[in-house]
Amino acid sequence: MKVAVVGVTGLVGGVMRQVLEEHKFPVTEFIPVASARSVGKTIHFNGREYTVVSMDDAIKMRPHIAIFSAGGKTSLEHAPRFAAVGTTVVDNSSAWRMYDDKKLVVPEINAHLLTENDKIIANPNCSTIQMVLALAPLHKKYGIKRLVISTYQAVTGTGVQAVSQMQEEREGKTAASPAYPHPIDLNCIPHGGSFQEDGYTTEETKLVHETRKILGAPDIRITATVVRIPVYGGHSESVNVEFERDFDLDEVRKLLEAEPGITIQDDADNNVYPMPLFSKDKDDVFVGRLRRDFSQPNSLNMWIVSDNLRKGAATNAVQIAQYLVENNLLVGDAELVAGV
């Protein structure tokens, strides 16, 4: 099983290596791939040292799976080149998410749609993944009519430059190369991605379109506000859900408890609720503050938290790859899955 990680030296790439190890993914040949400036560097995976190779060299090696986390431009240019030699690409960028012929996958929800003909598979946005995992069983039961979303997103979602900015500001320094137009430490910035003509940002628009696509529900009305906050551990979301049908709060809890990958933390008497500090380095999506919205019929308030580098990126991508292997969806992989 040849597995390439493209963007292996980046923030998410490092977590992908870690998750592949932890999930004991059946890698027999590991191919670390990065930009020209990183070629020749060494990284460690499963107790061994590997030399980073170029995109061209990786394609010549014809990996069975290539997990991309190298930006949209890189994915648009090189994912088709991998696919052309038979590699199945799982792409973590926004490049392919809204193409009609590309699957946008959260494995617990819609991996069953994948076939061996899907050579480029899109990994959703980090904020979308954690939210739809919590919403999917509720949508199936009650039918979602409208969502009002406010996110509180960690600096790790922006990348290494943003993490450095916050660290420097906490040390009382002026950031040498700031990722944001304002200080982030001791601040909240209501600006995720780029502003569009309608006043919404690209991060807000992703929540709208990706949620509809994953749930197969193009008519859900959705509005979102994305806020960047000075934390490392994960993204938090306040989600107000209006359903087509009324719900029972105890049943809502049972539905969520039964969903793989979700942990309920909802005990107000003992101050138990999800927080990004305690979601860090965990794969689960944590859900709490479940309560009826008395201002609107059939409406629920939820608080959803998850490590954006894990389930929001690396873990979800690895889970897609695991599904492909376990269900014999890699071309010519019959012998590869024998030990899975």
Kindly tell me if the per-residue pLDDT of 337 is higher than 50. Answer: no
Q: Any idea what the Cα angle at residue 233 is, between residues 157 and 39, rounded to 5°?
A: 50
Cα R_g (the chain), whole angstroms: 20
- Bridge-based pairing of strands 221-228 and 144-153 is parallel
Tens of pLDDT, residue by residue over 140-153, are 999 999 999 999 99
Structural element, H or E, at residue 175 = none
Q: Taken in order 241, 244, 248, 252, is the CA torsion positive or negative?
A: negative
Q: Which domains does the chain have, with CATH numbers?
A: 2-95+313-326 (3.40.50.720), 127-308 (3.30.360.10)
Confidence of residue 333 (pLDDT cuts 50, 70, 90): very low
CB 28: neighbour CB atoms within 10 A? 10
Q: Is 88 helix (H, G, I), strand (E, B) or coil?
A: strand
| Residue 223, both tokens | 């509005």
Tens of pLDDT, residue by residue over 259-313, are 999 999 999 999 999 999 999 999 999 999 999 999 999 999 999 999 999 999 9
Tens of pLDDT, residue by residue over 167-177, are 999 999 999 99
Q: Which single residue is written with the structure tokens 């629920």? A: 300
Whole-number Å distance between alpha carbons of 155 and 160:
9
What does pLDDT average to over the chain?
Answer: 96
pTM of the predicted structure, to 2 decimals: 0.95
What is the chain's length?
340
* Catalytic site positions: 126, 235
Q: Where are the alpha helices (DSSP H) in the chain?
A: 11-22, 55-60, 72-84, 107-110, 126-142, 160-170, 202-215, 249-257, 276-279, 315-326
Distances (CA, A) of 128 to 63, 251, 317: 29, 24, 14
* More confident: 258 or 340: 258
Q: Which residues contact 294 (CB under 8 A, 6 or more apart)?
A: none
> DSSP letters of 5-60?
EETTTSHHHHHHHHHHHHTT---SEEEEE--GGGTT-EEEETTEEEE-B-HHHHHH
Tens of pLDDT, residue by residue over 83-115, are 999 999 999 999 999 999 999 999 999 999 999
pLDDT of residue 177: 96
Q: For the chain, report the end-to-end CA distance as a whole number of angstroms.
A: 11
Q: Is 223 helix (H, G, I), strand (E, B) or coil?
A: strand
Kindly tell me if the per-residue pLDDT of 334 is higher than 60. Answer: no
pLDDT of residue 155: 98
Distances (CA, A) of 81 to 86, 131, 291, 321: 9, 32, 49, 19
Whole-number Å distance between alpha carbons of 336 and 324:
11
pLDDT of residue 340: 37
Tens of pLDDT, residue by residue over 188-222, are 999 999 999 999 999 999 999 999 999 999 999 99
Whole-number Å distance between alpha carbons of 272 and 266:
6
Confidence of residue 233 (pLDDT cuts 50, 70, 90): confident
